[in-house]
Amino acid sequence: MKPSDIVKSFRIKTGHKFRLDDLSPSETLGFDIDKDEVKDLLASGVKRLRDLQEKLYADGQRSILIVLQAMDAAGKDSTIEHVMSGVNPQGCEVTSFKVPSPEELKHDFLWRTTVALPPRGHIGIFNRSYYEEVLVARVHPDVLAKQNLPPELVTKDIWKERFEDIRAFERHLVRNGTVILKFFLHLSKEEQRKRFLERIEDPDKHWKFSAGDIAERARWDEYMAAYDSMIRHTATKEAPWHVIPADNKWFSRLAVAATIVERLEGLDLSFPVLAPDMREAMMVAGRSLLEEGTPVASSKRKARKANGGLAESRADRQADSNDQAMVNYRYW
């Protein structure tokens, strides 16, 4: 099995009949590989991603929005760290969405994420997202209360309406050149227990511990119901969800990397070709730069050779290739 085969196993394009319970958080699709092989596979995926990102940036037409949702300790942060480790930071922004500020609460629920959307040519990663508005806001009624919405707008239909608005928002983004990849890192309650205990037992991980995480864990079933409903209502062909088994970190990283690579490859990205006038201007610049440099390099080379015939240095090779380039330029 190749990493690309992983992708289709976890892609949810339609919420119809979706049930989170049908997917196991410890699934590894029979991948039986050792640590070094995982490292190699991930490294080649990361390298591929870097090449694709360079083209995405140069092409400057599309943007990639990666949405990451998960329960605490599912590995959102480390997935971002590993999978995006090779990409050029100039073309990639990570935004983490926490409890909204008073300023953010004064706006509609899509406002703060809208201003953080990636521009064309960029990859934007949302570490949590507007989906919290149908997750934590659904599990905790006081979160919704703080939004100070006109009471007549807060009806039993509010979640259905939010799903509708999110679908419309994502469709709008897709129609404007954004590619959306949504990931839910699907962790089991037992694996979360183990990871929390590891944090408590290891002083170097104490900083990751938060008492609030334990309170959210107590609402596990409500969260799972909210996630289930969210995926059922917002998995679409243009903006599918990827439900990634997250009990094995190596597997979830591989699956996320494979999904992003596969999607970017499907875009058939290529470096832009210069318009004829721009190309001509570049050739003129190239000729004049070569003329500027070659006499110095050649004279240095002659002086060196006269000085005892030293072995060819990098400068000599450069001078030779400059000479060759001059020949090529003259032919154009």
* Binding footprint of Mg ion on the chain (CB under 5 A): 72
Select the binding partner of residue 228 from Mg ion, ligand ATP, none (C-beta < 5 to 8 A, by kind): none
Residue 224 contacts ligand ATP per CB under 6 A: no
Residue 75 contacts ligand ATP per CB under 6 A: no
Residue 138 contacts ligand ATP per CB under 6 A: no
Complex with ligand ATP: residue 103 or 277, whichever CB lies closer: 103
How many residues bind ligand ATP, per CB under 6 A? 15
Distance between CA atoms of 273 and 270, rounded to whole angstroms? 9
Alpha-carbon torsion, ordered 245, 247, 253, 258, to 10 deg: -20
Distance between CA atoms of 223 and 213, rounded to whole angstroms? 13
Residue 99 contacts ligand ATP per CB under 6 A: yes
Residue 128 contacts ligand ATP per CB under 6 A: yes
Candidates 133, 191, 247, 262; binder of ligand ATP (CB under 6 A) is 133
Select the binding partner of residue 53 from Mg ion, ligand ATP, none (C-beta < 5 to 8 A, by kind): none
Distance between CA atoms of 122 and 129, rounded to whole angstroms? 18
Residue 136 contacts ligand ATP per CB under 6 A: yes
Residue 183 contacts ligand ATP per CB under 6 A: no
Select the binding partner of residue 100 from Mg ion, ligand ATP, none (C-beta < 5 to 8 A, by kind): ligand ATP
Residue 215 contacts ligand ATP per CB under 6 A: no
Residue 17 contacts ligand ATP per CB under 6 A: no
Select the binding partner of residue 97 from Mg ion, ligand ATP, none (C-beta < 5 to 8 A, by kind): ligand ATP
To ligand ATP, the closest distance from the beta carbon of 124 in angstroms equals 16
Q: Please give the radius of gyration of the chain, using alpha carbons only, rounded to the nearest integer.
A: 26
Complex with ligand ATP: residue 136 or 267, whichever CB lies closer: 136
Q: Would you say 1 and 251 are in contact if contact means Cβ atoms under 8 Å apart?
A: no
Beta bridge mates, 124: 65, 93
Complex with Mg ion: residue 70 or 179, whichever CB lies closer: 70
Residue 210 contacts ligand ATP per CB under 6 A: yes
Q: Which residue is nearest to ligand ATP (CB)?
A: 132
Residue 98 contacts ligand ATP per CB under 6 A: yes
The interface mask with ligand ATP, positions 20-59, x = CB under 6 A, is: ----------------------------------------
User: Closest by alpha carbon to 205, among 71, 73, 68, 82?
Assistant: 73
Residues 6+ apart with CB under 8 A from 223: 71, 135, 139, 216
Complex with ligand ATP: residue 128 or 186, whichever CB lies closer: 128
CB atoms within 10 A of CB 60: 13
Select the binding partner of residue 128 from Mg ion, ligand ATP, none (C-beta < 5 to 8 A, by kind): ligand ATP
Q: Would you say 201 and 260 are in contact if contact means Cβ atoms under 8 Å apart?
A: no
Which residues bind to ligand ATP, rule: CB under 6 A?
72, 77, 96-100, 127-128, 132-133, 136-137, 143, 210
